[in-house]
Amino acid sequence: MKKLLCYLTLLGLSAFALNSVALANKINSDDRLEWWKDARFGMFIHWGAYSKAGGEWKGTTDHGEWLQFSAKIPVAEYSEFAKGFNPVDFDAKEWVAIAKTAGMKYLVITTKHHDGFAIFDSPSNEYNIVDWSEFGRDPIKELSDACHEGGIRFGVYYSLGRDWHDPDVPTKNGARSNLIDYPDEESKDFSKYFERKVKPQVRELLTQYGQLDIIWFDTPGLITKEQSMELRDMIRELQPQCIINNRIGNGMGDYGTPEQKIPSGKDIEPWETCMTVSERIWGYNKYVGYRESETLIRNLIDISSKGGNYLLNVGPTGEGIIPEESVERLNAMGEWLDINGEAIYACGPTPFGPEVGHYSDTELDKYGNPKFISEWKWRATTQPGKLFIHVFEWANELRIPAIEKSVENVNLLGDPDRKALSFDQSSEGIQIFLPEAAPDEIATVICIQTN
Ligand code: JFZ
């Protein structure tokens, strides 16, 4: 009887495994990415023990999520500091409400950054917020539940090739390693770290929080191709719908991740610009400045017109509050999207291209290549039967390049009456006659309906 039970159990497990693999194979990269491409806009959150410092350490004030490295803090001192991480004001539902009000459709939070401190319940490694810090709760569980209840997709960031708490994480030439506690770079064995910490924790992230929609790996460092494949296979088996960024390493992943910059042109490969709302630091820094709402809204439009996604980062405080400077800007983006979201979500890229700018034939960039000169007059996105022109620089007349389809109607997306605008279409292009004042100084969207 025992043998039969054992046999049936094995049969059941192998069937489950086969079924998961079959499902994983059934969902191809395009299917997986469909919701993500339509979503266009997500919230990035850099939050961890480092947030408690607010960018400041013993009189220096330029720190962020790299605090342990940039302030040269030994593991013993930083670990003690991490014990005091106690975000008593953290409210996952409030964070999700801020993201939704901003018009963000997904959220990615740092679960373990380069300091190696997990802000999730990690039974495989005691250096985590539940077992190590005063807080004792699992904010990733609370946030994943809030996302699932709030109807926005949930994703996690995990640092692969940097972990200043672990003795076995070498980096290229040791340049980004913890050489204070672990000075002998040659003795470090990434595979030990991979087996001891990475695999168990990635498995915990895949199995403790319900549906996981994104795994955003960072700094793959010296991970081998086999190790990247092993992580990818684990993800595909346990969460077949989960999309993976290209920082899993070794040319794998579902999409590219240009950082703090926007590519100059359209790209058929899926990509997502990640950028800070603050001027440059990802983790909370009480001294840093913030980008203007106009810049953030126009960046979203520029990125969408080139077929990309915008992952915009906030750095909550050590108490768990998203800074007011970020909330104000995200609210402004949400107000713009409430009126013009139809021209962003689930839209295709511009049918043109010259409107985004050109390469100078005289100036060179810092790499010695022809410098790209951005034009900031207008951008275009598309829906079936519609061409949206997002106007940054207003004038009474707008000329855009010719399109094959015939124009049937032109109006302003923000005009509740959708009053028809005069236009003239020829093989030379389309001329649109606009009202005196721009309805929206940041970006007014013209809707061109075609046959
Ligand atoms: C990494 C992290 O070091 C940083 O703290 C933040 O989390 C960011 C989102 O990701 O920063 C990088 C990673 C890659 C490059 C530059 C900064 N890169 O490839 O140039």
Give the C-alpha distances (Å, rounded to integers) separating 82 from 322, 335, 436.
Answer: 20, 38, 57
CA of 125 to the centre of ligand 1 (A): 24
User: In this structure, how many other beta carbons lie within 10 angstroms of the beta carbon of residue 441?
Assistant: 10
Determine the Cα–Cα distance for residues 200 and 443; give it in Å rounded to an integer: 47
Question: Looking at domain 40-343, which of 3.40.640.10, 3.20.20.80, 3.40.225.10, 3.10.20.600 is its CATH number?
Answer: 3.20.20.80
CB 218 within 8 A of CB 158: yes
For domain 354-450, give the CATH superfamily.
Answer: Golgi alpha-mannosidase II (2.60.40.1180)
How confident is the model at residue 13, as a pLDDT? Answer: 45
Whether this prediction's pTM lies above 0.85 is answered by yes
Determine the Cα–Cα distance for residues 79 and 98; give it in Å rounded to an integer: 31
Digit-coded pLDDT (tens) for 314-335: 999 999 999 999 999 999 999 9
Q: Lowest-pLDDT range, 151-165, 191-205, 281-295, 351-365?
A: 351-365
How confident is the model at residue 267, as a pLDDT? Answer: 77
CA of 218 to the centre of ligand 1 (A): 7
How confident is the model at residue 18, as a pLDDT? Answer: 47
- What percent of the chain clears pLDDT 70, i.e. is strictly above it? 94
The confidence band for 268, taking pLDDT boundaries of 50, 70 and 90, is confident
Q: Which atom of ligand 1 is nearest to the CA of 283?
A: 5
CB 205 within 8 A of CB 239: no
* 213 closest CA partner among 19, 27, 342, 22: 27
CA of 195 to the centre of ligand 1 (A): 24
Determine the Cα–Cα distance for residues 187 and 198; give it in Å rounded to an integer: 19
| Residue 371: pLDDT over 50 | yes
CA of 282 to the centre of ligand 1 (A): 9
Q: Ligand 1 pocket test: which of 158, 282, 313 has the largest number of ligand atoms within 8 Å of its C-beta?
A: 282
Check if 163 has its Cβ closer than 6 Å to any atom of ligand 1: no
| Mean pLDDT, residues 199-209 | 98
How confident is the model at residue 16, as a pLDDT? Answer: 46
Whose C-alpha lies nearest to ligand 1, atom 3? 219
How confident is the model at residue 178, as a pLDDT? Answer: 98
Determine the Cα–Cα distance for residues 104 and 42; give it in Å rounded to an integer: 5
Check if 259 has its Cβ closer than 6 Å to any atom of ligand 1: yes
CA of 384 to the centre of ligand 1 (A): 37
What phi and psi, each to the nearest 5 degrees, are found at residue 389?
Answer: -110, 115
Q: Distance between alpha carbon 261 and the CA centroid of its chain, in Å? A: 13
Check if 274 has its Cβ closer than 6 Å to any atom of ligand 1: yes
Q: Ligand 1 pocket test: which of 259, 274, 311 has the largest number of ligand atoms within 8 Å of its C-beta?
A: 259
Determine the Cα–Cα distance for residues 205 and 212; give it in Å rounded to an integer: 8
**233-236 long-range Cβ contacts below 8 angstroms, 24+ apart:** 234/199, 234/202, 234/203, 234/206, 235/202, 235/206, 236/21, 236/24
* 264 closest CA partner among 365, 366, 388, 353: 353
Q: Which atom of ligand 1 is nearest to the CA of 44?
A: 9
CA of 261 to the centre of ligand 1 (A): 12
| Mean pLDDT, residues 133-149 | 97
CB 244 within 8 A of CB 160: no
How confident is the model at residue 338, as a pLDDT? Answer: 98
Whose C-alpha lies nearest to ligand 1, atom 18? 259
CA of 101 to the centre of ligand 1 (A): 27
Element holding 362 (H helix, E strand): strand 357-364
- What percent of the chain clears pLDDT 90, i.e. is strictly above it? 90
